[in-house]
Structure 1
Protein backbone atom coordinates (compact mmCIF):
# COMPACT_ATOMS: atom_id res chain seq x y z
CA UNK A 1 0.00 0.00 0.00
CA UNK A 2 1.38 3.39 -0.95
CA UNK A 3 1.65 5.98 1.74
CA UNK A 4 0.45 9.52 1.30
CA UNK A 5 3.61 11.63 1.58
CA UNK A 6 3.11 15.15 2.89
CA UNK A 7 5.28 18.19 3.38
CA UNK A 8 5.49 19.98 6.70
CA UNK A 9 6.81 23.47 7.47
CA UNK A 10 9.89 23.87 9.60
CA UNK A 11 8.68 25.57 12.78
CA UNK A 12 11.53 28.03 13.12
CA UNK A 13 11.57 28.85 9.41
CA UNK A 14 8.00 28.43 8.11
CA UNK A 15 8.95 29.50 4.58
CA UNK A 16 10.96 26.27 4.23
CA UNK A 17 8.76 23.23 3.63
CA UNK A 18 10.41 19.91 4.40
CA UNK A 19 9.14 16.47 3.43
CA UNK A 20 8.84 13.90 6.17
CA UNK A 21 12.02 12.16 5.01
CA UNK A 22 14.39 11.97 2.03
CA UNK A 23 12.87 8.59 1.18
CA UNK A 24 9.41 10.05 1.35
CA UNK A 25 10.42 12.86 -0.97
CA UNK A 26 11.77 10.38 -3.49
CA UNK A 27 8.60 8.29 -3.30
CA UNK A 28 6.45 11.37 -3.79
CA UNK A 29 8.17 12.17 -7.06
CA UNK A 30 8.35 8.56 -8.27
CA UNK A 31 4.63 8.23 -7.79
CA UNK A 32 4.19 11.13 -10.21
CA UNK A 33 6.70 9.81 -12.77
CA UNK A 34 8.87 12.88 -12.82
CA UNK A 35 11.98 11.64 -11.08
CA UNK A 36 14.08 13.32 -13.76
CA UNK A 37 13.33 16.62 -12.03
CA UNK A 38 15.25 15.68 -8.91
CA UNK A 39 18.98 15.92 -8.59
CA UNK A 40 19.53 13.33 -5.88
CA UNK A 41 22.90 14.72 -4.84
CA UNK A 42 21.59 18.23 -4.41
CA UNK A 43 18.64 16.97 -2.40
CA UNK A 44 20.79 14.72 -0.20
CA UNK A 45 23.19 17.55 0.62
CA UNK A 46 20.34 19.93 1.28
CA UNK A 47 18.52 17.47 3.54
CA UNK A 48 21.73 16.70 5.46
CA UNK A 49 22.38 20.39 5.88
CA UNK A 50 18.86 21.13 7.13
CA UNK A 51 18.99 18.16 9.52
CA UNK A 52 22.29 19.37 10.95
CA UNK A 53 20.91 22.85 11.51
CA UNK A 54 17.82 21.44 13.21
CA UNK A 55 20.02 19.45 15.59
CA UNK A 56 22.56 22.18 16.37
CA UNK A 57 20.12 25.11 16.27
CA UNK A 58 22.84 27.16 14.57
CA UNK A 59 21.30 27.81 11.13
CA UNK A 60 24.38 29.07 9.24
CA UNK A 61 22.06 29.02 6.23
CA UNK A 62 22.03 32.81 6.30
CA UNK A 63 25.73 32.80 5.45
CA UNK A 64 26.21 29.97 2.95
CA UNK A 65 22.72 28.89 1.89
CA UNK A 66 20.77 32.10 2.17
CA UNK A 67 18.51 31.51 -0.81
CA UNK A 68 17.34 28.42 -2.62
CA UNK A 69 15.84 28.33 -6.09
CA UNK A 70 12.66 26.27 -6.26
CA UNK A 71 11.39 24.92 -9.58
CA UNK A 72 7.66 24.23 -9.69
CA UNK A 73 5.89 21.61 -11.77
CA UNK A 74 2.18 21.87 -11.17
CA UNK A 75 1.60 21.17 -7.49
CA UNK A 76 5.15 19.91 -7.01
CA UNK A 77 8.45 21.60 -6.41
CA UNK A 78 12.08 20.67 -6.64
CA UNK A 79 15.28 22.25 -5.40
CA UNK A 80 16.89 24.03 -8.30
CA UNK A 81 20.05 24.85 -6.39
CA UNK A 82 21.70 27.61 -4.42
CA UNK A 83 22.29 31.04 -5.84
CA UNK A 84 25.78 31.73 -7.08
CA UNK A 85 27.72 34.55 -5.38
CA UNK A 86 27.04 36.74 -8.41
CA UNK A 87 23.31 36.00 -8.26
CA UNK A 88 23.32 36.71 -4.53
CA UNK A 89 24.92 40.09 -5.19
CA UNK A 90 22.41 40.89 -7.93
CA UNK A 91 19.53 39.92 -5.66
CA UNK A 92 20.93 42.12 -2.90
CA UNK A 93 21.17 45.12 -5.21
CA UNK A 94 17.69 44.51 -6.58
CA UNK A 95 16.24 44.29 -3.08
CA UNK A 96 17.93 47.58 -2.24
CA UNK A 97 16.40 49.19 -5.32
CA UNK A 98 12.91 48.16 -4.21
CA UNK A 99 13.38 49.89 -0.85
CA UNK A 100 13.95 53.35 -2.33
CA UNK A 101 10.81 55.48 -2.31
CA UNK A 102 10.45 58.31 -4.77
CA UNK A 103 11.50 61.57 -3.11
CA UNK A 104 10.71 64.73 -5.05
CA UNK A 105 13.20 66.68 -2.93
CA UNK A 106 16.15 64.55 -4.07
CA UNK A 107 18.12 65.97 -6.97
CA UNK A 108 18.83 62.56 -8.54
CA UNK A 109 15.14 61.68 -8.45
CA UNK A 110 14.26 65.00 -10.06
CA UNK A 111 16.80 64.37 -12.80
CA UNK A 112 15.46 60.86 -13.39
CA UNK A 113 11.97 62.27 -13.84
CA UNK A 114 13.27 64.85 -16.30
CA UNK A 115 15.17 62.12 -18.15
CA UNK A 116 11.95 60.15 -18.48
CA UNK A 117 10.21 63.17 -19.98
CA UNK A 118 12.88 63.84 -22.60
CA UNK A 119 13.22 60.13 -23.42
CA UNK A 120 9.47 60.14 -24.03
CA UNK A 121 9.11 63.54 -25.72
CA UNK A 122 12.58 64.45 -27.02
CA UNK A 123 11.33 67.47 -28.98
CA UNK A 124 9.01 68.89 -26.35
CA UNK A 125 10.31 71.17 -23.61
CA UNK A 126 9.26 70.35 -20.06
CA UNK A 127 7.91 73.38 -18.20
CA UNK A 128 8.46 71.95 -14.73
CA UNK A 129 8.27 68.93 -12.47
CA UNK A 130 4.74 70.06 -11.65
CA UNK A 131 2.92 70.68 -14.89
CA UNK A 132 -0.19 69.66 -16.81
CA UNK A 133 2.20 68.16 -19.35
CA UNK A 134 2.64 65.07 -17.20
CA UNK A 135 -0.97 64.07 -17.85
CA UNK A 136 0.04 63.41 -21.46
CA UNK A 137 2.21 60.53 -20.24
CA UNK A 138 -0.55 58.97 -18.19
CA UNK A 139 0.06 60.40 -14.74
CA UNK A 140 -3.19 61.19 -12.97
CA UNK A 141 -2.30 64.75 -12.04
CA UNK A 142 0.12 67.61 -12.58
CA UNK A 143 2.66 66.13 -10.16
CA UNK A 144 3.90 62.54 -10.75
CA UNK A 145 5.13 62.32 -7.16
CA UNK A 146 1.49 62.40 -6.06
CA UNK A 147 0.88 59.14 -7.91
CA UNK A 148 3.89 57.56 -6.21
CA UNK A 149 2.66 58.64 -2.78
CA UNK A 150 -0.87 57.43 -3.51
CA UNK A 151 0.32 53.99 -4.55
CA UNK A 152 2.82 53.74 -1.71
CA UNK A 153 0.04 54.48 0.78
CA UNK A 154 -1.39 51.07 -0.15
CA UNK A 155 1.75 49.08 -0.91
CA UNK A 156 5.35 48.95 0.25
CA UNK A 157 7.91 49.52 -2.46
CA UNK A 158 7.35 50.20 -6.15
CA UNK A 159 8.66 53.73 -5.66
CA UNK A 160 11.77 54.92 -7.40
CA UNK A 161 12.35 51.56 -9.09
CA UNK A 162 9.11 51.99 -11.04
CA UNK A 163 10.47 55.26 -12.43
CA UNK A 164 13.71 53.46 -13.29
CA UNK A 165 11.69 50.77 -15.07
CA UNK A 166 9.82 53.31 -17.18
CA UNK A 167 13.05 55.09 -18.05
CA UNK A 168 14.75 51.81 -19.00
CA UNK A 169 11.79 50.91 -21.22
CA UNK A 170 11.84 54.30 -22.93
CA UNK A 171 15.57 54.15 -23.67
CA UNK A 172 16.04 50.46 -24.44
CA UNK A 173 12.91 49.56 -26.39
CA UNK A 174 11.84 52.98 -27.60
CA UNK A 175 9.68 51.73 -30.50
CA UNK A 176 7.60 49.48 -28.23
CA UNK A 177 7.49 52.18 -25.54
CA UNK A 178 6.13 54.78 -27.95
CA UNK A 179 3.61 52.35 -29.41
CA UNK A 180 2.14 51.63 -25.97
CA UNK A 181 2.31 55.27 -24.90
CA UNK A 182 0.40 56.39 -27.98
CA UNK A 183 -1.97 53.38 -27.85
CA UNK A 184 -1.07 52.53 -31.43
CA UNK A 185 -2.53 49.41 -32.98
CA UNK A 186 -5.62 47.41 -32.18
CA UNK A 187 -9.15 48.40 -31.31
CA UNK A 188 -8.92 50.61 -28.25
CA UNK A 189 -11.45 51.33 -25.56
CA UNK A 190 -12.79 54.84 -25.16
CA UNK A 191 -11.51 54.83 -21.57
CA UNK A 192 -7.95 53.51 -21.82
CA UNK A 193 -5.54 52.69 -19.01
CA UNK A 194 -3.23 55.60 -17.99
CA UNK A 195 0.18 54.62 -19.33
CA UNK A 196 2.53 55.81 -16.56
CA UNK A 197 0.31 54.74 -13.67
CA UNK A 198 -0.12 51.34 -15.31
CA UNK A 199 3.67 51.10 -15.42
CA UNK A 200 3.95 51.67 -11.67
CA UNK A 201 1.38 48.94 -11.04
CA UNK A 202 3.28 46.55 -13.30
CA UNK A 203 6.45 47.10 -11.27
CA UNK A 204 4.65 46.17 -8.07
CA UNK A 205 3.02 43.14 -9.72
CA UNK A 206 6.44 41.81 -10.74
CA UNK A 207 7.85 42.39 -7.26
CA UNK A 208 5.01 40.36 -5.80
CA UNK A 209 5.38 37.60 -8.37
CA UNK A 210 9.13 37.18 -7.87
CA UNK A 211 8.87 37.26 -4.05
CA UNK A 212 12.15 39.13 -3.86
CA UNK A 213 12.37 39.05 -0.07
CA UNK A 214 11.71 35.33 0.23
CA UNK A 215 14.39 32.65 0.45
CA UNK A 216 12.37 30.46 -1.91
CA UNK A 217 12.96 31.93 -5.36
CA UNK A 218 10.88 30.30 -8.06
CA UNK A 219 12.30 32.18 -11.04
CA UNK A 220 16.12 32.33 -10.94
CA UNK A 221 16.20 33.54 -14.56
CA UNK A 222 15.62 37.11 -13.39
CA UNK A 223 19.08 37.03 -11.77
CA UNK A 224 20.97 35.92 -14.90
CA UNK A 225 21.62 39.50 -15.94
CA UNK A 226 22.10 42.81 -14.14
CA UNK A 227 19.12 44.33 -15.94
CA UNK A 228 16.92 41.23 -16.11
CA UNK A 229 14.29 42.72 -13.79
CA UNK A 230 13.98 45.77 -16.04
CA UNK A 231 13.77 43.62 -19.17
CA UNK A 232 11.08 41.49 -17.52
CA UNK A 233 9.21 44.72 -16.79
CA UNK A 234 9.25 45.62 -20.48
CA UNK A 235 8.02 42.14 -21.43
CA UNK A 236 5.26 42.39 -18.81
CA UNK A 237 4.10 45.75 -20.16
CA UNK A 238 3.86 44.30 -23.68
CA UNK A 239 1.99 41.22 -22.45
CA UNK A 240 -0.42 43.40 -20.48
CA UNK A 241 -1.22 45.56 -23.49
CA UNK A 242 -1.65 42.50 -25.72
CA UNK A 243 -4.10 40.96 -23.28
CA UNK A 244 -5.84 44.30 -22.92
CA UNK A 245 -6.57 44.29 -26.64
CA UNK A 246 -7.50 40.60 -26.76
CA UNK A 247 -10.02 41.08 -23.94
CA UNK A 248 -11.29 44.34 -25.43
CA UNK A 249 -10.84 45.70 -21.91
CA UNK A 250 -11.61 49.12 -20.51
CA UNK A 251 -10.25 51.03 -17.53
CA UNK A 252 -12.35 49.28 -14.88
CA UNK A 253 -11.00 45.90 -16.00
CA UNK A 254 -7.35 46.83 -15.56
CA UNK A 255 -6.83 44.69 -12.44
CA UNK A 256 -8.27 41.62 -14.17
CA UNK A 257 -5.92 42.14 -17.10
CA UNK A 258 -3.00 42.55 -14.70
CA UNK A 259 -3.86 39.23 -13.02
CA UNK A 260 -3.98 37.38 -16.33
CA UNK A 261 -0.71 39.05 -17.32
CA UNK A 262 0.95 37.73 -14.19
CA UNK A 263 -0.39 34.24 -14.87
CA UNK A 264 1.08 34.24 -18.37
CA UNK A 265 4.46 35.50 -17.14
CA UNK A 266 4.55 32.75 -14.51
CA UNK A 267 3.80 30.09 -17.10
CA UNK A 268 6.55 31.31 -19.40
CA UNK A 269 9.16 31.67 -16.66
CA UNK A 270 8.58 28.03 -15.68
CA UNK A 271 9.28 26.67 -19.15
CA UNK A 272 12.31 24.35 -19.12
CA UNK A 273 14.09 26.19 -21.94
CA UNK A 274 13.68 29.65 -20.37
CA UNK A 275 17.03 30.29 -18.72
CA UNK A 276 17.04 34.05 -19.30
CA UNK A 277 14.31 36.63 -19.68
CA UNK A 278 15.23 36.86 -23.36
CA UNK A 279 14.21 33.19 -23.74
CA UNK A 280 10.60 33.93 -22.83
CA UNK A 281 8.21 33.54 -25.79
CA UNK A 282 6.73 36.99 -25.11
CA UNK A 283 10.14 38.66 -25.37
CA UNK A 284 9.52 38.67 -29.13
CA UNK A 285 6.83 41.31 -28.58
CA UNK A 286 9.53 43.89 -27.89
CA UNK A 287 11.11 46.03 -30.58
Structure 2
Protein backbone atom coordinates (compact mmCIF):
# COMPACT_ATOMS: atom_id res chain seq x y z
CA UNK A 1 0.00 0.00 0.00
CA UNK A 2 2.91 2.37 0.73
CA UNK A 3 4.31 1.77 -2.76
CA UNK A 4 0.88 2.38 -4.25
CA UNK A 5 0.56 5.64 -2.32
CA UNK A 6 3.91 6.90 -3.65
CA UNK A 7 3.03 5.80 -7.17
CA UNK A 8 -0.30 7.58 -6.87
CA UNK A 9 1.44 10.77 -5.81
CA UNK A 10 3.74 10.57 -8.82
CA UNK A 11 0.84 9.83 -11.14
CA UNK A 12 -1.12 12.83 -9.93
CA UNK A 13 1.92 15.10 -10.35
CA UNK A 14 2.43 13.78 -13.87
CA UNK A 15 -1.23 14.31 -14.76
CA UNK A 16 -1.06 17.91 -13.51
CA UNK A 17 2.01 18.60 -15.62
CA UNK A 18 0.64 16.76 -18.67
CA UNK A 19 -2.72 18.51 -18.68
CA UNK A 20 -1.57 21.85 -17.32
CA UNK A 21 -4.41 21.69 -14.77
CA UNK A 22 -4.35 23.60 -11.54
CA UNK A 23 -1.66 25.97 -12.80
CA UNK A 24 -2.37 29.68 -12.86
CA UNK A 25 -0.89 33.10 -12.19
CA UNK A 26 2.71 32.63 -11.12
CA UNK A 27 2.25 28.87 -11.37
CA UNK A 28 5.16 26.83 -12.67
CA UNK A 29 4.35 24.92 -15.88
CA UNK A 30 6.23 21.71 -16.55
CA UNK A 31 6.09 20.64 -20.22
CA UNK A 32 4.88 17.05 -20.64
CA UNK A 33 8.04 15.85 -22.36
CA UNK A 34 10.15 17.22 -19.52
CA UNK A 35 8.24 15.50 -16.72
CA UNK A 36 10.93 13.40 -15.01
CA UNK A 37 8.65 10.56 -13.88
CA UNK A 38 6.95 10.00 -17.22
CA UNK A 39 9.14 7.11 -18.33
CA UNK A 40 8.86 5.37 -14.97
CA UNK A 41 5.08 5.67 -15.04
CA UNK A 42 4.88 4.35 -18.58
CA UNK A 43 6.88 1.31 -17.50
CA UNK A 44 4.39 0.53 -14.71
CA UNK A 45 2.00 -2.35 -15.37
CA UNK A 46 -1.50 -1.52 -16.61
CA UNK A 47 -2.98 -3.10 -13.49
CA UNK A 48 -1.03 -0.77 -11.21
CA UNK A 49 -1.96 2.21 -13.38
CA UNK A 50 -5.62 1.25 -12.99
CA UNK A 51 -5.27 1.00 -9.21
CA UNK A 52 -3.41 4.31 -9.16
CA UNK A 53 -6.19 6.04 -11.07
CA UNK A 54 -8.85 4.60 -8.78
CA UNK A 55 -7.00 5.56 -5.61
CA UNK A 56 -6.13 9.01 -6.97
CA UNK A 57 -9.79 9.62 -7.74
CA UNK A 58 -10.70 8.81 -4.14
CA UNK A 59 -7.85 10.97 -2.82
CA UNK A 60 -8.84 13.84 -5.10
CA UNK A 61 -12.39 13.78 -3.74
CA UNK A 62 -11.05 13.72 -0.19
CA UNK A 63 -8.49 16.46 -0.75
CA UNK A 64 -10.97 18.68 -2.56
CA UNK A 65 -12.21 19.71 0.89
CA UNK A 66 -8.71 20.87 1.78
CA UNK A 67 -7.91 24.22 0.16
CA UNK A 68 -4.20 23.73 0.78
CA UNK A 69 -3.82 20.13 -0.37
CA UNK A 70 -0.46 19.42 -2.00
CA UNK A 71 0.78 16.79 -4.39
CA UNK A 72 2.58 14.98 -1.59
CA UNK A 73 6.13 14.81 -0.32
CA UNK A 74 9.00 14.85 -2.85
CA UNK A 75 9.90 11.38 -4.07
CA UNK A 76 13.19 10.35 -5.64
CA UNK A 77 13.33 7.92 -8.51
CA UNK A 78 16.82 7.05 -9.67
CA UNK A 79 19.74 9.43 -9.82
CA UNK A 80 19.89 12.75 -11.60
CA UNK A 81 16.10 13.18 -11.77
CA UNK A 82 14.21 16.30 -10.83
CA UNK A 83 11.32 16.39 -8.38
CA UNK A 84 8.82 19.23 -8.70
CA UNK A 85 6.06 19.91 -6.19
CA UNK A 86 2.95 22.11 -6.49
CA UNK A 87 0.05 22.89 -4.27
CA UNK A 88 -3.44 22.35 -5.62
CA UNK A 89 -3.70 25.88 -7.01
CA UNK A 90 -0.47 25.46 -8.91
CA UNK A 91 1.70 27.74 -6.80
CA UNK A 92 5.30 26.65 -7.18
CA UNK A 93 6.80 25.30 -3.97
CA UNK A 94 10.18 23.71 -4.59
CA UNK A 95 12.37 21.90 -7.08
CA UNK A 96 14.99 19.35 -6.12
CA UNK A 97 17.60 17.69 -8.23
CA UNK A 98 19.65 14.68 -7.22
CA UNK A 99 22.97 14.75 -9.05
CA UNK A 100 25.22 11.89 -10.03
CA UNK A 101 28.92 12.24 -9.10
CA UNK A 102 29.70 13.13 -12.73
CA UNK A 103 27.00 15.81 -12.78
CA UNK A 104 28.21 17.22 -9.48
CA UNK A 105 31.74 17.48 -10.84
CA UNK A 106 30.62 19.21 -14.03
CA UNK A 107 28.43 21.65 -12.14
CA UNK A 108 31.32 22.33 -9.76
CA UNK A 109 33.68 23.06 -12.66
CA UNK A 110 31.14 25.32 -14.34
CA UNK A 111 30.54 27.23 -11.10
CA UNK A 112 34.30 27.63 -10.73
CA UNK A 113 34.59 28.99 -14.26
CA UNK A 114 31.90 31.55 -13.47
CA UNK A 115 33.83 32.83 -10.45
CA UNK A 116 37.17 33.39 -12.23
CA UNK A 117 37.87 37.07 -12.86
CA UNK A 118 39.94 38.18 -15.81
CA UNK A 119 43.45 38.79 -14.52
CA UNK A 120 45.82 40.74 -16.76
CA UNK A 121 48.81 39.35 -14.84
CA UNK A 122 48.00 35.71 -15.66
CA UNK A 123 49.78 34.38 -18.72
CA UNK A 124 46.94 31.96 -19.56
CA UNK A 125 44.45 34.83 -19.58
CA UNK A 126 46.76 36.88 -21.80
CA UNK A 127 47.13 33.89 -24.12
CA UNK A 128 43.34 33.46 -24.32
CA UNK A 129 42.93 37.11 -25.30
CA UNK A 130 45.55 36.78 -28.01
CA UNK A 131 43.87 33.58 -29.20
CA UNK A 132 40.58 35.45 -29.52
CA UNK A 133 42.25 38.06 -31.69
CA UNK A 134 43.87 35.41 -33.89
CA UNK A 135 40.58 33.54 -34.30
CA UNK A 136 38.76 36.78 -35.14
CA UNK A 137 41.36 38.42 -37.38
CA UNK A 138 43.72 35.65 -38.54
CA UNK A 139 45.40 37.87 -41.15
CA UNK A 140 45.94 40.94 -38.96
CA UNK A 141 48.80 41.20 -36.48
CA UNK A 142 47.88 42.38 -32.99
CA UNK A 143 49.98 45.29 -31.77
CA UNK A 144 49.38 44.60 -28.08
CA UNK A 145 46.89 43.59 -25.41
CA UNK A 146 46.17 47.29 -24.98
CA UNK A 147 45.57 48.74 -28.41
CA UNK A 148 43.02 50.75 -30.37
CA UNK A 149 42.66 47.67 -32.57
CA UNK A 150 40.36 46.09 -30.00
CA UNK A 151 37.71 48.71 -30.68
CA UNK A 152 37.17 47.12 -34.09
CA UNK A 153 35.93 43.97 -32.36
CA UNK A 154 33.42 45.92 -30.33
CA UNK A 155 35.18 46.58 -27.04
CA UNK A 156 34.47 49.90 -25.36
CA UNK A 157 38.09 51.01 -25.27
CA UNK A 158 41.59 49.98 -26.18
CA UNK A 159 41.88 47.69 -23.14
CA UNK A 160 39.33 44.84 -23.41
CA UNK A 161 40.15 43.55 -19.93
CA UNK A 162 38.04 46.34 -18.43
CA UNK A 163 34.92 44.95 -20.13
CA UNK A 164 35.22 41.51 -18.54
CA UNK A 165 34.34 42.78 -15.07
CA UNK A 166 30.66 41.98 -15.46
CA UNK A 167 30.95 38.30 -16.38
CA UNK A 168 34.60 37.40 -15.79
CA UNK A 169 36.97 35.15 -17.69
CA UNK A 170 34.22 32.78 -18.81
CA UNK A 171 32.86 35.49 -21.12
CA UNK A 172 36.21 35.48 -22.95
CA UNK A 173 36.13 31.68 -23.07
CA UNK A 174 32.63 31.85 -24.57
CA UNK A 175 33.70 34.25 -27.31
CA UNK A 176 36.73 32.11 -28.11
CA UNK A 177 34.60 28.94 -28.19
CA UNK A 178 32.14 30.65 -30.55
CA UNK A 179 34.93 31.87 -32.84
CA UNK A 180 36.55 28.43 -33.11
CA UNK A 181 33.44 26.23 -33.19
CA UNK A 182 31.07 28.24 -35.39
CA UNK A 183 33.45 30.52 -37.26
CA UNK A 184 31.02 31.39 -40.07
CA UNK A 185 28.28 32.53 -37.69
CA UNK A 186 30.84 34.31 -35.53
CA UNK A 187 32.20 36.30 -38.46
CA UNK A 188 28.71 37.07 -39.77
CA UNK A 189 27.67 38.57 -36.43
CA UNK A 190 31.00 40.35 -36.00
CA UNK A 191 30.74 41.99 -39.42
CA UNK A 192 26.97 42.56 -39.07
CA UNK A 193 26.25 40.71 -42.27
CA UNK A 194 22.71 39.87 -43.29
CA UNK A 195 19.46 41.72 -42.70
CA UNK A 196 18.71 45.41 -42.49
CA UNK A 197 21.16 46.86 -40.01
CA UNK A 198 20.74 49.85 -37.75
CA UNK A 199 22.94 52.91 -38.13
CA UNK A 200 23.73 52.49 -34.42
CA UNK A 201 24.58 48.81 -34.03
CA UNK A 202 25.39 46.92 -30.85
CA UNK A 203 29.14 46.48 -30.16
CA UNK A 204 29.84 42.82 -30.90
CA UNK A 205 32.30 41.92 -28.13
CA UNK A 206 30.52 43.81 -25.35
CA UNK A 207 27.24 42.24 -26.46
CA UNK A 208 28.91 38.84 -26.11
CA UNK A 209 29.87 39.59 -22.50
CA UNK A 210 26.26 40.60 -21.81
CA UNK A 211 24.96 37.34 -23.30
CA UNK A 212 27.23 35.38 -20.95
CA UNK A 213 25.98 37.37 -17.96
CA UNK A 214 22.35 36.86 -19.04
CA UNK A 215 22.79 33.07 -19.18
CA UNK A 216 24.50 33.05 -15.79
CA UNK A 217 21.54 34.90 -14.29
CA UNK A 218 19.04 32.63 -16.03
CA UNK A 219 20.63 29.42 -14.75
CA UNK A 220 21.22 30.83 -11.24
CA UNK A 221 23.74 28.11 -10.40
CA UNK A 222 25.00 29.92 -7.31
CA UNK A 223 21.66 29.42 -5.59
CA UNK A 224 21.77 26.28 -3.44
CA UNK A 225 18.14 25.43 -4.24
CA UNK A 226 16.99 25.40 -7.88
CA UNK A 227 14.21 27.95 -8.41
CA UNK A 228 13.44 27.28 -12.07
CA UNK A 229 12.84 24.18 -14.15
CA UNK A 230 15.12 25.70 -16.81
CA UNK A 231 18.07 25.22 -14.48
CA UNK A 232 17.15 21.58 -13.82
CA UNK A 233 16.76 20.91 -17.54
CA UNK A 234 20.15 22.49 -18.20
CA UNK A 235 21.79 20.32 -15.53
CA UNK A 236 20.54 17.24 -17.35
CA UNK A 237 22.06 18.60 -20.57
CA UNK A 238 25.32 19.35 -18.78
CA UNK A 239 25.50 15.73 -17.67
CA UNK A 240 25.43 14.71 -21.34
CA UNK A 241 27.85 17.36 -22.62
CA UNK A 242 30.32 19.31 -20.50
CA UNK A 243 30.33 22.07 -23.15
CA UNK A 244 26.58 22.64 -22.78
CA UNK A 245 27.06 26.14 -21.34
CA UNK A 246 29.31 27.24 -24.21
CA UNK A 247 26.93 25.78 -26.79
CA UNK A 248 23.99 27.49 -25.12
CA UNK A 249 25.94 30.75 -25.30
CA UNK A 250 26.36 30.41 -29.06
CA UNK A 251 22.66 29.68 -29.53
CA UNK A 252 21.69 32.64 -27.34
CA UNK A 253 23.99 34.97 -29.29
CA UNK A 254 22.43 34.11 -32.66
CA UNK A 255 18.94 34.39 -31.14
CA UNK A 256 19.85 37.84 -29.85
CA UNK A 257 21.05 38.96 -33.28
CA UNK A 258 17.95 37.53 -34.97
CA UNK A 259 15.66 39.38 -32.59
CA UNK A 260 17.72 42.52 -33.05
CA UNK A 261 17.06 42.38 -36.79
CA UNK A 262 13.38 41.52 -36.41
CA UNK A 263 12.87 44.53 -34.14
CA UNK A 264 15.03 46.77 -36.32
CA UNK A 265 16.52 47.74 -32.97
CA UNK A 266 19.10 50.36 -32.10
CA UNK A 267 21.68 50.29 -29.32
CA UNK A 268 19.32 52.05 -26.92
CA UNK A 269 17.00 49.02 -27.15
CA UNK A 270 19.70 46.46 -26.41
CA UNK A 271 18.42 45.60 -22.92
CA UNK A 272 14.93 44.92 -24.25
CA UNK A 273 16.35 42.68 -26.97
CA UNK A 274 18.36 40.82 -24.33
CA UNK A 275 15.21 40.25 -22.24
CA UNK A 276 13.32 38.83 -25.20
CA UNK A 277 16.36 36.69 -26.04
CA UNK A 278 16.30 35.16 -22.58
CA UNK A 279 12.58 34.43 -22.89
CA UNK A 280 13.15 32.70 -26.24
CA UNK A 281 16.04 30.64 -24.86
CA UNK A 282 13.90 29.51 -21.92
CA UNK A 283 11.00 28.56 -24.20
CA UNK A 284 13.24 26.45 -26.41
CA UNK A 285 14.92 24.70 -23.48
CA UNK A 286 11.51 23.64 -22.17
CA UNK A 287 10.23 22.23 -25.46
CA UNK A 288 9.16 18.58 -25.31
CA UNK A 289 11.69 17.23 -27.80
CA UNK A 290 14.69 19.31 -26.67
CA UNK A 291 16.96 16.95 -24.74
CA UNK A 292 20.28 18.52 -25.79
CA UNK A 293 21.40 22.02 -26.73
CA UNK A 294 21.70 20.71 -30.28
CA UNK A 295 17.95 19.97 -30.26
CA UNK A 296 17.00 23.62 -29.74
CA UNK A 297 15.32 25.01 -32.89
CA UNK A 298 17.66 28.02 -33.00
CA UNK A 299 20.71 25.76 -32.99
CA UNK A 300 20.15 25.42 -36.75
CA UNK A 301 21.08 29.10 -37.11
CA UNK A 302 24.69 28.21 -36.28
CA UNK A 303 27.21 27.29 -38.93
TM-score, normalised with respect to structure 2: 0.71
Q: Is the 8 A contact 1:222 1:277 kept in 2?
A: no
- Of the three residues 89, 107, 115, the one matched with 1:99 is 115
Question: Alpha carbons of 1:27 and 1:247: their partners in 2 closer, same or farther (altered >3 Å)?
Answer: same
Distance in 1 between the 2:259 and 2:170 partners? 24
1:9-43, CA deviations, whole angstroms, 9 ceiling, x for partnerless residues?
xxxxxxxxxxxx9988876765676497473989x
1:121 is the counterpart of 2:137: yes
Consecutive unaligned residues in structure 2, runs of 5 or more: 1-5, 21-31, 42-70
1:155-192, CA deviations, whole angstroms, 9 ceiling, x for partnerless residues?
xxx20000000000000000000000000000000000
Q: Is the 8 A contact 2:251 2:299 kept in 1?
A: yes
Instruction: Return the offset for 1:222.
Output: 3.8
- Of the three residues 184, 188, 208, the one matched with 1:175 is 184
Instruction: Return the offset for 1:45.
Output: 11
- Report what 2:37 is aligned to: 39
1:187-217, CA deviations, whole angstroms, 9 ceiling, x for partnerless residues?
0000000000000000010011111123323
- Report what 2:29 is aligned to: none
- Report what 2:193 is aligned to: 184
1:218 is the counterpart of 2:227: no
Q: Is the 8 A contact 2:75 2:83 kept in 1?
A: no
1:80-103, CA deviations, whole angstroms, 9 ceiling, x for partnerless residues?
852222111111100000010001
Distance in 2 between the 1:170 and 1:140 partners? 20
Instruction: Return the offset for 1:143.
Output: 0.2
Q: CA RMSD in A?
A: 3.4
Tell me how many residue pairs correspond in the alignment.
244
Distance in 2 between the 1:72 and 1:165 partners? 34
1:99-128, CA deviations, whole angstroms, 9 ceiling, x for partnerless residues?
100011111100100000000000000000
- Report what 1:197 is aligned to: 206
Distance in 2 between the 1:268 and 1:198 partners? 21
- Report what 2:298 is aligned to: 282
Question: Alpha carbons of 1:222 and 1:282: their partners in 2 closer, same or farther (altered >3 Å)?
Answer: farther
Consecutive unaligned residues in structure 1, runs of 5 or more: 1-20, 50-64, 152-157
Greater Cα offset, 28-37 or 90-99: 28-37
TM-score, normalised with respect to structure 1: 0.75
**What SS class does the counterpart of residue 110 from structure 2 fall into?**
helix
Instruction: Return the offset for 1:69.
Output: 3.5
Larger Rg: 2
Greater Cα offset, 84-93 or 158-167: 84-93
